[in-house]
Chain A
Amino acid sequence: MGARKYIKDIWGAVKSLATGMKRTMYYFFHHKEIITQEYPDNRDTLILPERFKGEVVMPHDEKNEHRCTGCQACELACPNGTIKVITKFDMIDGKKKKAIDKLVYHLELCTMCNLCIEACPSDAIKMAQTFEHSVFDRNKLIKVLNNPGSKIMEGVE
């Protein structure tokens, strides 16, 4: 180890440690940066981070239409069998067309890993930010994501 490298090492160490200390000192004096949410107290004004994931939902538009084609990509992507897609066949113009009957979602098994949302080719499902999921009966955690009587949106293949 040359003397040059030795001194360079010391200088680099001092510089990088000083950078870290500057950052923590900034946080120490800037209390507005605090990200802790005092949850039960500020339940009404809670600010959740953008990427917080609470449960899987399927958005419907005002005509009670969703974007799910029943391709089962989410079911295959799920690592722990949370999603079950039950398909049916609609008769449109005398032709059989695949559609979903029920998209069953087991919230009690879900780890919020986001793989189903990434796998979905038609952006039919997304993560909601609701998180107060406690119930007294575990059967209430088994949810059907598509609304009763809903149809697939026009133009989604």
Chain B
Amino acid sequence: MWSFSEIANSMHEWLSKTFNPTWTLIIEMVIAGVAVIGLFAVLGLVLVIMERKVSAWMQIRLGPNRVGPKGMLQSLADTIKLIVKEGMTPAGADKILFNLAPFIAMIVAMLLLAPIAFAKDFQLWDLNIGVLYVAAVSSIMVISILMAGWASNNKYSLLGAMRSGAQIVSYELSAGLSILAIVVLTGSLQVSDIVHSQADGWWIFKGHIPAIIAFITFIIAVTAETNRAPFDLAEAESELTAGFHTEYSGMKFALFFLAEYVNVFIVCAIGATLFLGGWMPLHIGNWTGFNHAMDWIPSSIWFFGKTFFLIFVIMWFRWTFPRLRIDQLLNLEWKYLLPISMINLLIVTAIAILKWHF
């Protein structure tokens, strides 16, 4: 049976036989870069049409149904439209920052992809502080939003950017604390270690109720961190037209749009890795027969299945809940999520020390 890791290994062997080590490394980096860009393009197309269909069905509408079979080529048509459009820079804008901001958003999304394990033994960079790296790099995202808001020279953009700053800085705390809960249980920051520690059951099942609470706080916090409804105060189309990307058009707008969806994918992939076992199939303790049956499903399908399930949950939130006010948003974080996740972390630590988890 073929798998991503076998393809990668055979490619590496062929390249090492044909070229010297330096060229092998360079060619592999180029291939990885092209693969990441390709994944981004596919994710953008798939997630946009998925969001539009999910939103339509949840609001008793039909959704896009004209372009292609059942409207499935709608996002492709939209992309072509955005490529053709003119990318304007407003006269009063800070030109360098304005044009740099969308690329920073994309670069952050690309950097975040490095430690994610897509399938068994298939990972760009299995560094020993993987989870810390993700938590650290994802905070650079706010820089691009602040940059876009400030450089646009527009009151809506600036307000959106300021709200986004307040929001991301506060929600990073509870996202970090809920990630810490799993790190405490695993005892490692390395992504591959975390996945392997779930070989006999996912942490959401093994960690009792504290793991479930950590999972819920994680989902709420990352919804806020990716600026999606009900926490989309940075865009808030009914109050701030489009928030930080009001002045953007054409491909520069498309990059922000793509970065939002890629970020949703990444946070869901991290959630799936930490709580739902990443590429690890559903294993229950010592049921060898059941575990073997589950191993037949390829690991990449497990990973993408879990990730898309979480993406669906986040879309479900978006099309059900109304937007919060800025004071409600900060109340939720500082008065509810943060104390709860701190106490939760304490309980998880006790469970880990006393070895109460399965």
Q: A10-B336, A17-B321, A20-B321 are in contact. Are A27 and B316 (CB under 8 A)?
A: no
- Cα distance, A10 to B332, chains bound together (Å): 10
- Cα distance, A10 to B316, chains bound together (Å): 20
A18 to chain B, nearest CB (A): 10
Kindly state whether residue A31 has any CB partner on chain B within 8 Å: yes
Kindly state whether residue B356 has any CB partner on chain A within 8 Å: no
CB-contacts of A22-38 with B (<8 A): 23-25, 27-28, 31, 33-36, 38
- In the bound complex, residues from chain B placing their C-beta under 8 Å from that of A33 are 60
A36 to chain B, nearest CB (A): 5
- Cα distance, A69 to B319, chains bound together (Å): 51
Kindly state whether residue B62 has any CB partner on chain A within 8 Å: yes
CB-contacts of B322-357 with A (<8 A): 336, 340
Is A31's CB under 8 angstroms from B316's CB?
no
The number of residues on chain B lying at the interface, defined by a beta carbon within 8 Å of a beta carbon of chain A, is 14
- In the bound complex, residues from chain B placing their C-beta under 8 Å from that of A28 are 54, 57-58, 316
Kindly state whether residue A46 has any CB partner on chain B within 8 Å: no
Is A31's CB under 8 angstroms from B57's CB?
yes
Question: How many Cβ-Cβ contacts under 8 Å join chain A to chain B?
Answer: 37
Nearest CB in chain A to that of B53: its residue? A28
Is B59's CB under 8 angstroms from A27's CB?
yes
- In the bound complex, residues from chain A placing their C-beta under 8 Å from that of B340 are 10
Kindly state whether residue B61 has any CB partner on chain A within 8 Å: yes
CB contact between A24 and one of B61, B62, B316, B336 (< 8 Å): that residue: B316
Is B59's CB under 8 angstroms from A21's CB?
no
CB-contacts of B300-320 with A (<8 A): 316-317, 319-320
- In the bound complex, residues from chain B placing their C-beta under 8 Å from that of A24 are 58-59, 316, 319-320
B338 to chain A, nearest CB (A): 13
- Cα distance, A127 to B17, chains bound together (Å): 82
- Cα distance, A35 to B57, chains bound together (Å): 10
- In the bound complex, residues from chain A placing their C-beta under 8 Å from that of B54 are 28
Type the 1/0 row for B53-94, where 1 means its CB is closer than 8 Å to any CB of A.
Answer: 010011111100000000000000000000000000000000
Is B57's CB under 8 angstroms from A27's CB?
yes
Is A21's CB under 8 angstroms from B316's CB?
yes
Type the 1/0 row for B29-57, where 1 means its CB is closer than 8 Å to any CB of A.
Answer: 00000000000000000000000001001
Nearest CB in chain B to that of A17: its residue? B321
> Of residues B60, B321, B340, which shows the largest number of chain A Cβ atoms within 10 Å of its Cβ?
B60
- In the bound complex, residues from chain A placing their C-beta under 8 Å from that of B321 are 17, 20
- Cα distance, A28 to B58, chains bound together (Å): 5
B205 to chain A, nearest CB (A): 21
Is B61's CB under 8 angstroms from A34's CB?
yes
Nearest CB in chain B to that of A10: its residue? B336
B220 to chain A, nearest CB (A): 10
CB contact between A20 and one of B57, B60, B62, B320 (< 8 Å): that residue: B320
Is A27's CB under 8 angstroms from B62's CB?
no
- Cα distance, A31 to B54, chains bound together (Å): 12
- Cα distance, A20 to B61, chains bound together (Å): 17
- In the bound complex, residues from chain A placing their C-beta under 8 Å from that of B61 are 34-36
Is B336's CB under 8 angstroms from A35's CB?
no
CB contact between A34 and one of B62, B316, B319, B320 (< 8 Å): that residue: B62
- Cα distance, A60 to B96, chains bound together (Å): 71
Type the 1/0 row for A136-152, where 1 means its CB is closer than 8 Å to any CB of B.
Answer: 00000000000000000
Is A27's CB under 8 angstroms from B336's CB?
no
Is B336's CB under 8 angstroms from A34's CB?
no
Residues of A within 8 A of B (CB): 10, 17, 20-21, 23-25, 27-28, 31, 33-36, 38
The 14 sampled A-B contact pairs (Cβ below 8 Å) are A17-B320, A17-B321, A20-B320, A24-B59, A24-B319, A25-B58, A25-B316, A27-B57, A27-B60, A28-B58, A31-B57, A33-B60, A34-B60, A36-B62
Name 12 extra pairs, CB < 8 A, besides A24-B58, A27-B60, A35-B61.
A17-B321, A20-B321, A23-B320, A25-B316, A27-B58, A28-B58, A28-B316, A31-B57, A34-B57, A34-B61, A36-B62, A38-B62
Across the A-B interface, the 4 shortest Cβ-Cβ residue pairs: A24-B58, A24-B320, A36-B62, A20-B320
